[in-house]
Amino acid sequence: SYCTSSTQKSGASAVPISEAYWLGTPDSEWKKYSSFVMRKFATPVPHSDSPPAHTVHVYNNLVLPSPAKQVFIVAHSYGGVCSGGLLRDPASFPDLQKRCPAVAFTDAINTITRRDAKDVRQFNKERVINWVAAPHPLDTPCGTDPDGGNEERSAGHTAHEWTSASCCSSVFKYFDDAASRGVSN
């Protein structure tokens, strides 16, 4: 859904998308890319039989051919399952290794396990942080995902639906720090 909490500011995707836009997308590139996206979705989207399949399709058809030098992912709740689909996809994963220095989960379901390929597990461990619902101040370490190996931190809120809004500033700091470091394979 578009708004998951009681206000547009705390529960809508528009706030982090707007913040990301103003952090560095030149206006002319944004307009050109927005037009491209609108043309792509004017017809039914194939390969959308499940949310992970849809995510892989969107990534491979919109993000993969884009000129973006870096790609960042924020995934809330079931978005973690969709992100796992990207990491397992043979077309998406090599691109993510090159262009995605950081992935932020907000109380997301992480489906990466010991059964996944070693490079997928390594990516997950080194580049994914999950801000989880917890009764601790924002960014308090909450351990490591037992299967995926990625770091978990407190989102600064105990309610699942509020985690994205309450950790937004930390997510963008994480992305800013990762952007300056770049990607190391």
Whole-number Å distance between alpha carbons of 18 and 40: 21
Secondary structure, 3-state, 84-107? HHHHHCCCHHHHHHHHCCEEEEEC
Tell me the helices (H) and strands (E) count for the chain, helix number first. Answer: 8, 5
The identity of residue 60, as a single letter, is: N
Please pick, among 6, 35, 77, 184, the residue that the annotation labels catalytic: 77
R_g over Cα of the chain: 16
Contact 48, 61 (CB under 8 A): no
Per the annotation, the verdict on 170 as an active-site residue is no
The b-or-e profile of 108-131 (16+ CB within 10 A means b, else e) is: bbbbbeeebeeebbebbeebbbbb
Whole-number Å distance between alpha carbons of 14 and 184: 30
Catalytic residue IDs: 77
